[in-house]
Structure 1
């Protein structure tokens, strides 16, 4: 058995700060979206993913993977979004077996209204706190971590859509 490679004091400090960011940042984003748009981060990510897709539609299985959620979780969410009139489900044209989620005009309008406040918070909490060099480094660091967490091909590079708006800006 290989001996444990304990963290150095410096690594331990960085790890604890990383854990704090991983806890506090999602809570802040979730709170803003719930207050201002009656959406969860997962719901916002699903709507943004649909808004960016050709025809504003995606297969449910593909959408679940892009949104980093299970098919079951996505199915429950899409049901709630359907009741609000923001999404509708259709049979897949290509094989008639699969199911496709389609962003409605009302859903697109809701996303467009929610995006400015969400993007402002992301900018305030993340990008405004960093220098341009640090933003580049953050991109490199997150890419390296995502490669470990989800092998290439399994990893949507921008699934959170923290900086996406309904018009792609």
Structure 2
């Protein structure tokens, strides 16, 4: 038998969260890089692959990635040079720009997705038990709401 349960101390929980998310992010990044893709590359491909017409306005994409406009512009430039994404004028508003996934970008995303899904399953989802996913969702939604 172990000793009595000790209540979690909030600052210890914060430290654990901070360190664990950093380690998880680094590990997922390393595994994606084995396939020639960074985590940020993958996030852009993921968002564009799920968008109508495989394109999003640059402002919306920056907001969803939590990127500054200059950081997004740089990231899109990297993906353009690889032929995975292209910038284009918005058909509805010629002043606005969109990022659009190319056919090559969609092929790359479809090739990467199964390995990435296995990595997320083994590194994150596989550690969840019982109602952990529901409880974690509730906490993350509360955090997201506080940040909006």
Q: Partners of 2:10 and 2:60 in 1: how far apart?
A: 37
1:69, distance to aligned residue in structure 2 (A): 1.1
Instruction: Determine the structure 2 residue equivalent to 1:113.
Output: 111
Aligned pairs (5 A) from 1:118-129? 118-129=116-127
Q: Does 1:134 align with 2:122?
A: no
Task: Write 1 or 2 for the structure with the bigger share of helix.
Answer: 2
Q: Partners of 2:49 and 2:119 in 1: how far apart?
A: 20
Map Cα deviations across residues 26-82 of structure 1 (whole Å, 9 max, x no partner): 11111111112x222121111111100111011111111112211111111111111
Map Cα deviations across residues 126-166 of structure 1 (whole Å, 9 max, x no partner): 111111301111111111111122x1xxxxxxxxxxxxxxx
Q: Does 1:17 align with 2:27?
A: no
Structure 1 residues 59 and 9, CA gap change in structure 2 (3 angstroms): closer
Q: Does 1:33 align with 2:32?
A: yes
Map Cα deviations across residues 8-43 of structure 1 (whole Å, 9 max, x no partner): 87223322211221211111111111112x222121
Q: Does 1:80 align with 2:78?
A: yes
| Length, aligned pairs only | 142
Structure 1 gaps of 5+ residues are 1-7, 152-169
1:117, distance to aligned residue in structure 2 (A): 1.0
Q: Partners of 1:72 and 1:33 in 2: how far apart?
A: 24
TM-score using structure 1 length? 0.79
SS in 2 for 1:132: coil
Instruction: Determine the structure 2 residue equivalent to 1:104.
Output: 102
Q: Partners of 1:72 and 1:134 in 2: how far apart?
A: 37
Map Cα deviations across residues 83-124 of structure 1 (whole Å, 9 max, x no partner): 111111111111211111110110000011111111111111
- 2:143 maps to which of 139, 142, 145: 145
Q: Partners of 1:139 and 1:26 in 2: how far apart?
A: 18
What value does the CA root-mean-square deviation take over the aligned residues? 1.5
Structure 2 gaps of 5+ residues are 1-6
SS in 1 for 2:94: coil
